[in-house]
Structure 1
């Protein structure tokens, strides 16, 4: 049995995706989260395993994206382009996006290997809006979609549940992953935390079958005051929402759950919410 419960996966390249400080997905988001997590490290140290992501290869990215698009991203970043398909990028954006995808794959394999029960991936840029051949929203590579295909095509997982929560529908994530082996829950309308948790609980209860693995596309733009979102979930309520999913995964998916950071553009509120999220994944009381 694993001595650590939850992996915290990150990579030094992720904050290097430089969109400018006037952009919602600015480069201060990740350091703010890291500082909040490390402030709570006295509690988190024993049950949490810190892992460094292995950046994604072209082969990894081609699980979802076309070879031509992978090349376009690499060349645009290498040329110091300001954007690709209307999504703001910088010279380090290809490396940051690959590190984020690699973080999800690293987390999945750590859970499958029994090193931990579940995991949280500190990912940036967000991934859920990316299409196979185009960037969209703030997204370059579709991190959760690639992780789902990795589970199915390389690791033989019979069925995968993708849960997406955020302030808007995960339309592109759903379209990219449409397949008979995949189930999806998309929660994006309840305004407050209690209603959000109830909606998630009801959706989980309505699933026709138990999955072999659960992936969470975790949009923290559900938080009250988020500059992009319109919902009103408080950071403390993220604990309760996460606990619903973690307890369900423990019962129905052998605890196999990987959460991937998506949106969340109030850096301070997101940092506080991620600490609550980690505590719920581990099974600690809320902060």
Structure 2
């Protein structure tokens, strides 16, 4: 059984303004990191372009059409202060979804043990009908729904350790007890959601707020006491990670002091649950991470854990 690495050069063609933290160099850093010799055993696949029907699993067709039409032929178009489209954005966003869907297909079919889909733009802030926070389509959410629709998964657990709360994923699954959404994130911080009292109508949302300055001990305690027991009890058929690496101490957009080893530890713990509950089936989708050195270190630690290293 292998670990897949899924990406596509289209992710580099989503251009943002000078100084924007969500920039093409992020994907270059990930790709360079995984070219090292320890990752020679990765199976590498290119992310296909998702169909509009797949995207519409979580976003209404009219909203999808608005995003597609908003993409410019030249220059940049800002949907809000943070979320910018260039001529390459639509393809990059569609291939981001396509990579996550392909990862699910390969893992659910047993052709891979797990997979890391690394594309940009990220997705977890994208709500049902709103693009925001650098995000256009919610890859992790669509991957979960695809696992249910195409592969018969009854329960999917999404664990989000990005330092920003995944308001989009929470919005999409607020009323859906077949998907568990569990998040650690800094508060107060963008986008302002993620209070522990936000639990969903089916008690399927788990939010653990970390405080500015918190580090490894608080993060691991949150996982041990709040996140992992809920994932285990949920008995998922698939585990999806929204793998943002911006809780690293070097990241410029937040004040949580994790080390790369923390991401490796969390990966291993979730893999253990996946091994016990769902045949090891686990898909990881890249979210944030804006310091290139921290992103390189965190990605290599994460993928090494996926590979069993």
- The normalised TM-score by structure 2 is 0.86
Give the equivalent residue in structure 1 for 2:184: 187
Question: How many aligned positions are there?
Answer: 278
Q: Distance between the aligned counterparts of 1:198 and 1:251, measured in 2? A: 21
More displaced 10-residue stretch of structure 1: 132-141 or 182-191 = 182-191
Q: Residue in 1 aligned with 2:78?
A: 83
Distance 1:31 1:21 in 2: 16
**How big is the shift at 1:195?**
3.2
Question: Is 2:51 the partner of 1:61?
Answer: no
Q: Give the SS at the match of 2:34.
A: helix
Residues 226-246 of structure 1: per-residue CA shift (max 9 Å, x gap): 111221111233212211111
Distance 2:6 2:277 in 1: 24
CA distance in 1, matches of 2:109, 2:230: 29
1:197 offset after TM fit, Å? 2.7
Deviation of 1:85 (Å):
4.3
Output the CA distance in 2 between the equivalents of 1:206 and 1:8: 28
Counterpart check, 1:204 vs 2:221: no
**In 1, Cα distance between equivalents of 2:261 and 2:237:** 29
2:91: which partner in 1?
95
1:43 aligns with 2:38: yes
What corresponds to 1:172 in structure 2? Answer: 168
Choose which of 209, 215, 218 in structure 1 pairs with 2:240. 215
> C-alpha distance in 2, partners of 1:131/1:145?
10
Equivalent-residue separation in structure 2 for 1:224 and 1:217 (angstroms): 19
Aligned partners of 2:30 and 2:164: how far apart in 1?
A: 22
**Contact 1:193–1:241 (CA under 8 A) maintained in structure 2:** no
1:73 and 1:84 in contact (8 A); partners too: no
Cα distance between partner residues in 2 of 1:242 and 1:249: 10
2:138 matched to 1:114? no
1:25 aligned residue: 22
Alignment partners' CA distance in 1, 2:155 and 2:8: 28
Residue 84 of structure 1 and its aligned partner are, at CA, apart by 2.2
Distance 1:119 1:91 in 2: 29
Structure 2 SS opposite 1:30? helix
- Coordinate RMSD, CA, aligned: 1.5
> Offset of 1:71 from its aligned partner?
1.6
Deviating 4+ runs (over 4 angstroms): none
In the aligned structure 2, how far is the partner of 1:37 from the partner of 1:193?
25
Matched, 1:278 2:303: yes
Contact kept, 8 Å, 1:21 with 1:27, in 2: the verdict is no
The structure-2 alpha-carbon separation of the partners of 1:61 and 1:85, relative to structure 1 and needing over 3 Å to count, comes to farther
What are the ranges of 5 or more consecutive residues in structure 2 without an aligned counterpart? 186-208
Aligned 8 A contact 1:162 1:214 in 2: yes
- Structure 1 stretch 193-202 or stretch 13-22: which is displaced more? 193-202
